[in-house]
Structure 1
Amino acid sequence: MKKASRLCIAAFLLLSCGCSSPYRGKGLVPAAQPQQDAQPSTCTALDIALSFDTADGEFNGMSHSGAYLVLTNIGLRTCTVPRRPQITWLDITNAPLKAQPDTPKGMHPGPVLTPVVLAPGKSARSALRWVSGEVYDHNTCVNVAKGTVKLDKGDVSAPLQARICGDASVGIRFEEPWLQPQGETAAPAESSNAR
């Protein structure tokens, strides 16, 4: 009898002090869980259109040239693209050309780059720049007909007529800054996806 009364007193004290267990009444009351935002998945080649915008010669100068690389989400879902996409230049026969992006200063191996989130209809771009003239003691140049960007489940490609030159002793290099999100745009008419 004493044991039963002690249990009743302990239960009464527990409930009256506000120190409740997860059991209330007949059911289990789960602890509040913090809400986690669902992270968008990576864009596939079906989600993205690639285009190159020469900006009416804005990049052209003394033996220099360039173009904006533009990635546009033409899909129906929000997804992500790499902050610094992997670009391959191709010649008129679709053979890959030996031209590599410069490694930005301080990147050895460098910071972790968060991907760019693109909602449907949104774009991101990067201002690519390169040497277009024979300005080195030992020149090597390639003629670009098309560029491709590697994405999840395939590549996207678009035409670009360009001449990229470099020093033969170090190879052909071009500048590729990080992609920056842009305003809402329609899918480029002249771009094509290689799947």
Structure 2
Amino acid sequence: MILIIMGVCGCGKTTVGKAMAKKLQWQFADADDFHPEANKVKMGKSIPLTDEDRIPWLTSIHQYIKTLNTEGNNGVVTCSALKKMYRGILTSGEVTADKGAEKLPVLFVYLKGDRDLIIKRMEGRSGHFMPVSLLDSQLALLEEPDKSEEAVTVSIDISVDDIVALVIEECEKRLSRSVKSDVS
């Protein structure tokens, strides 16, 4: 199973992702590590990324997820995955994937939070290339996962341990349903 921890900057993707990977003893990868230096410089100057900037980045994350899946490894990957189209690239590797496109089996974990809480968290961190000034552009771009997507939404108003427990519980439910449908 592959979990993609998603949401806007400052929602806690890396913190939750690392805690989840540690608890499950799964591999962990942070999407920030897949960004080319040009993207980091652009964001560091408070310039929002365009789709043109994001597509190669998302495609490289897709390749990583595909490798995990092909090798039969479980993993936790963080990625803002703000638009439904971006989530499609992560799962299919295609920008305009049609409904018949093969999609990797992933579960998106959307970390949802209040703007003021996220700003407070962002102001409290140091050494990150993403400035608080880009939060509003991410919120404007955000398309929350809908019922057609494999996703679970979790509020960031609770502790990291509680988020991890909720996500693990959801994974167990989905695996249980999958096993039952395989037996039927």
Q: TM-score when scaled to structure 2?
A: 0.25
- By percentage of residues, which structure has more strand? 1
Higher RCO, 1 vs 2 (CA within 8 Å, ≥6 residues apart): 2
Q: Between Structure 1 and Structure 2, whose CA radius of gyration is higher?
A: 1
